[in-house]
A and B are shown apart, each in its own frame.
Chain A
Amino acid sequence: MKSLVRCALGALLYSTVALAASWSFEDASISVSGKAAGVGGASKEKLSPNSPLTSPLALPAADSLKVILTTTEGSTGKRAHQAFLTLHEPTTGLEESFPFSVKENGKGKVEVTQKDLPFQFLTSTQPLKASLVIASFGSSTPYNQHAFDLSIETDAAAAPAVPSPPERYTSQPEIRHMFKADPRSPPAVISLVFTLAVLAALPALLGAWLLLGANLDHIGKAFNASPVAHGLFFGSIIAMEGVFFLYYTVWNLFQALPAVLAVGVVGYVSGSRALTEVQDRRLAGER
Chain B
Amino acid sequence: SNASASLGNIRNAQDAQQIAISLWNNYVEKTPQRTKLIDAFMAFLMVVGGLQFVYCVIAGNYPFNAFLAGFSATVGQFVLTASLRIQTNADNENDFKNLSQERAFADFVFGSMILHFFCVNFIN
**Which residues of A come within 8 Å of B, CB atoms?**
183-187, 190-191, 194, 197-198, 201-202, 204-205, 208-209, 212-214, 237, 240-241, 244-245, 247-248, 253, 260, 264, 267, 271-272, 275-276, 278-279, 282, 287
Contact = CB atoms under 8 A, between A and B. Distances in A.
Given A186-B59, A248-B120, A201 B113 contact: no
Contacts, number: 78
- The contact size tier of chain B is 20 to 34
Interface stretch (B3-11, B15-23, B99-107): B99-107
Interface of A is mostly: helix
Nearest to A257: B117
A187 B41 CA distance: 30
20 contacts: A183-B60, A184-B62, A186-B59, A190-B55, A190-B59, A194-B52, A194-B55, A194-B59, A198-B52, A201-B48, A205-B44, A212-B33, A237-B109, A244-B116, A264-B113, A271-B106, A275-B103, A275-B105, A279-B100, A279-B102
Given A190-B55, A247-B120, A278-B102, A183 B47 contact: no
Interface in B38-66: 40-41, 43-44, 47-48, 51-52, 54-55, 58-60, 62-63
B99 to A, nearest CB: 12
A248 B62 contact: no
